Amino acid sequence: MNSFEAKDYLVFLGYFIVVLSIGISVTRKPKGHDRTAEDFFLASRALPWWIIGASMIASCISTEGIIGMNGTAFESGIAVISYTWLGAAIPIIIVSKFFLPAFLKMKIYSMPEFLEKRFDQRVSTGMGIFWLLVYVFVNLTSILALGAVTLEQVIGIPIVFGVIGLACFSAVYTVYGGLTSVAWTDFIQVGVLILGGIAVTLLGLDRVGDGQGIITGFTTLMHNAPEKFHTVLNADHHELPWTGVFCGGLFITAMAYWGCNQYIIQRALAAKNISQAQYGLLFAAFLFLIVSIIIVLPGVIASDLYPEMVLKRDQAFPVLIRELLPAGPTGLVVAAIIAAIISSLNSMTNSTATIFTMDIYRKFLKKKVTQKELVLVGRIVSAVGLITAGILAPIVVSQGRLFKFIQEYTGFVTPGFFAIFIFGLFWKRCTSTAALTAALSTIPVSIILKFTFPGLAFLNRISITFLVLSALIVLTSVLQKRVVTKEALVYSNINYKSSLPLNIGIFLVLGIVAALYLLFV
C-alpha cells in the first residue's frame, strides 16, 4: 500500500499555506474600517455568481458528498446519485427561480429573520433554536468526523488528533475572515477537488480494465456488478427505496437543504443582486451534473478493486486515493479535500454564529449592541460550536455510515422546516400559530413514526411527516378564519420573472437529468 511520502507532505502543507494566505488577503479592510456584521456574516453582500456557485459545490461535495456518498455507493451502487440529480440540481434551480426573489427583496441576514418577518418572533426563535441544535450536534459533528476519517485512512493520523487539528485550523480561519474568506477560497478548492476526483475515477476505471483504458474499465465494472448501476431501487431498500426517492422524501429533504438552510442559502443572500444570486445557483446546478460522477463512481470502483480493504464503507474513497495516486498528486488531492472540509466547517460555524448573534443575542440578550460586538459574539459562538462538535465527532466515527447519520437525523426536523417555508412563501392564509404548530410537531411526529414503524425507510418517514404537518398547517390556519395575515403582505409584490439565459439553463438541467434517469433506470 502507498503511504504519504515527503513530496506529499510538502504539497499538502504548501496548499494550505496558499489557501490560507488567499483567505486572509481577500478579507482585508482599509485602515480605520471596522468590520461590520454585514461584512462578517454576508461578505458585504458583494459575492459574484461564479463564487456563489463554486462555494456551494465545495461545501457540499467535500464532506458528506465525496466521502459519505462514495461510501453509500460502495454498498448500494449508483442509486445514491439521486442526491445530486433530484436532490441537488433540480431543487437548486427551483430555489433560484421561486425562493431567492423573496429572500433578497427582504434583505435578510438569516432564515429565522425571514420567519419573523413572515410570521412572528415565536416561530423565528423556535426554528432558530432547532437550527442551532442540528448544525452543532449533527452537521458540524459529522463534518469533523468525515474529515478525521480521511486523515486517518490516507495519512494515518488518529481520529482524535484529526478532529482537534481540523477544529483548530477552522477556528483560525473563521475568527479572521468570516464568509468572505470562506467563499473566495472555495473557488480554488472546488477546482482542485473536481480535478482530483476525476483523476481518481479515471485511474480506478483503468485499473478495473487491467490497463486497457477507461471505456474498457467502465464496461468491465458494469459487467462485474450490474446490480450497482440502477438509479431505482426496490421499495423495501433500507436507505434508498424508490418510494422515498421519487415520491417526495428526497425532494423535501433537498428543498429544505438548498432553499431553507442557512448554511447554504447564506451565500445567495450575500450576492451583489438577484441576477448574480440566480446565475450562481444555476452554475452550481451544472457543476453538480459533473461532480455527480466523482462522488458516486469511485465508491463502485472501490467495491470491485479493494472490497477487503474497506472495513467501513466511508473508507472507500480514502482507500482509492491511497492506492491509486502517486506521490505529489496524493498530497494535493488530500489537501483539497481537507481544505474543503475546513471550508464546510467554516461555513457551518459562520451560519451557526449568524443565527445565534442576529436572531437570539441582539433580540433577547442585548438589544443595544455595536457592530463590533456582534462580530465578537459571532466569533465566540463559532469557537463554542467547534469545541462541542469536536467532543462528539469521535463517537460518531465509531458508528460508521456517516452519510446516513446526516440524512437520518436532519430528517427529524427537515419536514417541519420545509412545510413552514413552503406555506409561508406561497400561501398567504398560513398563520403564525399554524407555523408554530408545525415547528413544535416535527420532531414528535418523526419520533413516533420511527419507533412505531422501525422498518420504515427514513425518506418515506420524511414524506409522511411532511404530509401530517401540512395537514396541521392547513387545519390550524382555516380554523383561525383569517383570509390573509398582515405579515404575508410583506413580500406580496415579488417579481418572479427571470432572464432568457436563466430559463434556457433551467430547461437544459431538467433535460439532462431526465435523459440520465432513462439511461440508468
Give 244-300 pLDDT, tens digit per residue.
667 677 888 888 888 888 878 888 888 888 999 999 999 999 988 888 888 889 989
Lowest-confidence region among 56-60, 203-207, 317-321: 56-60
Which residues make beta-bridge pairs with 241? Answer: 233
If one compares 314 and 62, the residue with the highest pLDDT of the two is: 314
* Mean pLDDT for the stretch of residues 106-135: 85
Residue 82 pLDDT: 83
Residue 483 — pLDDT band, cuts 50, 70, 90? low
CA geometry: angle 435, 273, 183, nearest 5 deg: 85
Does the pLDDT of residue 372 top 50, yes or no?
yes
Residue 310 and residue 71: Cα distance in Å, rounded? 9
CATH number of the 6-519 domain: 1.20.1730.10
Secondary structure percentages of the chain, helix, strand, coil, to 5: 80, 0, 20
In this structure, of 6-20, 120-134, 227-241, 371-385, the range with the lowest mean pLDDT score is: 227-241
Q: What is the pLDDT of residue 284?
A: 92
Among candidate residues 438, 441, 406, the one with its CA nearest the CA of residue 422? 438
Q: Could you state, in order of their start, the residue ranges of all structural domains in the chain? A: 6-519
**pLDDT given at position 477:** 92
Mean pLDDT of 213-236: 85
Q: Which residues pair with 47 in a beta bridge?
A: 271
pLDDT grade for 38, boundaries at 50, 70 and 90: confident
Q: Which residue has the higher pLDDT, 283 or 392?
A: 283
User: Residue 508 — very low, low, confident or very high, per pLDDT cuts 50/70/90?
Assistant: very high
Residue-level pLDDT at 406 = 64
Check pLDDT > 70 for residue 487. no
3-state secondary structure of 241: strand
pLDDT confidence of residue 33: 57
pLDDT at site 2: 46
Q: Is the pLDDT of residue 237 over 80?
A: no
- On the question of pLDDT at 187 being above 60, the answer is yes
Over range 171-182, report the average pLDDT. 70
| Residues paired with 271 in a beta bridge | 47
Q: Which of 72-81, 272-281, 313-322 has the lowest mean pLDDT?
A: 313-322
Check residue 437 and give its pLDDT. Answer: 93
Residues of the chain with pLDDT > 90: what percent? 17
pLDDT of residue 148: 83
Rg (CA), the chain: 22
Q: What are phi and psi of 517, to 5 degrees?
A: -65, -40
How high is the mean pLDDT of the chain? Answer: 82
Q: Which helix (H) or strand (E) holds 264?
A: helix 262-269
Give the per-residue pLDDT at 456.
81
CB atoms within 10 A of CB 311: 10
Q: What are the residues whose beta carbons fall under 8 Å from the beta carbon of 476, sequence distance 6 or more?
A: 431, 433, 434, 437
Higher-scoring residue by pLDDT: 307, 420? 420
CA distance 266 to 92: 14
Rounded average pLDDT over 225-242:
75
Look at 16-25, 34-43, 283-292 and tell me which has the smallest mean pLDDT.
34-43
> Which helix (H) or strand (E) is 280 found in, with range?
helix 274-294
Query: In the structure, what pLDDT confidence band is assigned to residue 15 with cuts at 50, 70 and 90?
Result: confident
Report the percentage of the chain scoring pLDDT > 70: 88
pLDDT at 503: 93
**Residue 213 reports pLDDT greater than 80:** yes
8 Å CB contact between 223 and 209: no
What band does 221 get if pLDDT is binned at 50, 70 and 90?
Answer: very high
pLDDT in tens, 403-424: 566 666 677 888 988 999 999 9
pLDDT band at 401 (very low <50, low <70, confident <90, very high): low
The arithmetic mean of pLDDT across residues 233-241, rounded, is 67
Largest CA distance in the chain: 71
Look up residue 158 and give its three cell numbers. 488518529
3-state secondary structure 1-40: CCCCCHHHHHHHHHHHHHHHHHHHHCCCCCCCCCCCHHHH
What pLDDT is stored for residue 233 in this prediction? 72
